[in-house]
């Protein structure tokens, strides 16, 4: 009996990296490291995984960066069409749904992209949406994706104590921390992840979205 034919190449590659987002009462912090790798090699130490999708909506994606770039272009195009048709920017929850639909559209040849969407919702409160590769998403108070996510999530759980979404009446999941405290926490968790995850390091790019607009910061990480 002949064995099944198999491809001798894969359309995907994993460029590594970690993304984190934390939602606050009136801000949202989105961060990702700037290392791009393939196998055990580093391609560049200075690659941004963060993309601004709308005025108050920022996406960080780890995984296969070619698919991430294609996804970002796709969403930017759809956002432009939305602006032409509705004469306004897309809100973060609207963009969240669009991203989910875009990912599921390619259910049978997925974007190898692990996304975290962050921004301000229609009421100006911080929101974070976390995704899998085929578009399953959920609004949460904080999330991380990528190679360092298993190292970072337990620490965020421990520090941010997001209540279960099963509680009634529904309790707000955003953290009571101040903006600077949240940024410090992001720097701490990345430092810890960079110690133990070989795909995370070089620099962290931190984007903060609040009522005043969007701000960007960089901090150094281990380069080994």
Partner 1 sequence: MSIFEYNGSALVAMVGKNCFAIASDRRLGVQLQTIATDFQRIHKIHDKLYIGLSGLATDVQTLYQRLVFRHKLYQLREERDMKPETFASVVSAILYEKRFGPYLCQPVIAGLGDDDKPFICTMDSIGAKELAKDFVVAGTAAESLYGACESMYKPDMESDELFETVSQALLASVDRDCLSGWGGHVFVVTPTEVIEKTLKGRMD
Toward partner 1, which CB reaches closer, 172 or 188? 188
Report yes or no: 210 and 42 within 8 Å, Cβ to Cβ.
Answer: no
- Other CB atoms within 10 A of residue 216 CB: 12
- The piece of 31-39, 71-79, 184-192, 207-215 that touches partner 1 (CB under 8 A) is 184-192
Toward partner 1, which CB reaches closer, 46 or 157? 157
Toward partner 1, which CB reaches closer, 119 or 201? 201
Binding residues for partner 1, how many (CB under 8 A)? 15
Write out the two tokens for 161: 């104590």
CA distances from 89 to 57, 81, 179 (A): 10, 10, 24
Strands of 137-140's sheet, edge to edge?
A: 50-54, 57-63, 113-120, 126-131, 137-140
Write out the two tokens for 3: 């064995």
Query: What is the pattern of x (binds partner 1, CB under 8 A) and - over residues 121-150?
Result: ---------------------------x-x
> Counting contacts by CB under 8 A, is residue 151 touching partner 1?
yes
Toward partner 1, which CB reaches closer, 28 or 193? 193
Among 26, 132, 181, 195, binds partner 1 (CB under 8 A): 195
> How far apart (Å, rounded) are the C-alpha atoms in residues 14 and 126?
30
- The piece of 94-102, 132-140, 187-195, 213-221 that touches partner 1 (CB under 8 A) is 187-195
Outline where the chain has alpha helix (H). 65-86, 92-105, 149-160, 179-196
Residues contributing to the site for partner 1 (CB under 8 A):
148, 150-155, 157-158, 188-189, 192-193, 195-196
């Amino acid at each position: 009996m002949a064995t099944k034919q198999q491809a001798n190449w894969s359309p995907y590659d994993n460029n590594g990296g970690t993304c984190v987002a934390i939602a606050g009462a009136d801000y949202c912090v989105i961060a990702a490291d700037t290392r791009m790798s393939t196998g055990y090699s580093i391609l560049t130490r200075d690659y941004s995984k963060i993309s601004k999708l709308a005025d108050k909506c920022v996406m960080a994606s780890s995984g296969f960066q070619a698919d991430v770039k294609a996804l970002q272009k796709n969403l930017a195009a759809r956002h432009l069409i939305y602006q032409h048709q509705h004469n306004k920017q897309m809100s973060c929850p609207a963009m969240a749904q669009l991203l989910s639909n875009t990912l599921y559209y390619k259910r049978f040849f997925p974007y190898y992209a692990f996304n975290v969407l962050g921004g301000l919702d229609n009421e100006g409160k911080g929101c974070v949406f976390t995704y899998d590769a085929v578009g399953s998403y959920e609004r949460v108070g904080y999330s991380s994706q990528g190679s360092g996510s298993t190292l970072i999530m337990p620490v965020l759980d421990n520090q941010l104590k997001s209540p279960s979404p099963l509680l009634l009446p529904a309790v707000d999941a955003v953290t009571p921390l101040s903006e600077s405290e949240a940024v410090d926490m992001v720097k701490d968790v990345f430092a810890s992840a960079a110690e133990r995850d070989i795909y995370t390091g070089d620099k962290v790019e931190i984007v903060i979205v609040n009522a005043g607009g969007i701000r960007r910061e960089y901090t150094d990480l281990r380069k080994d």
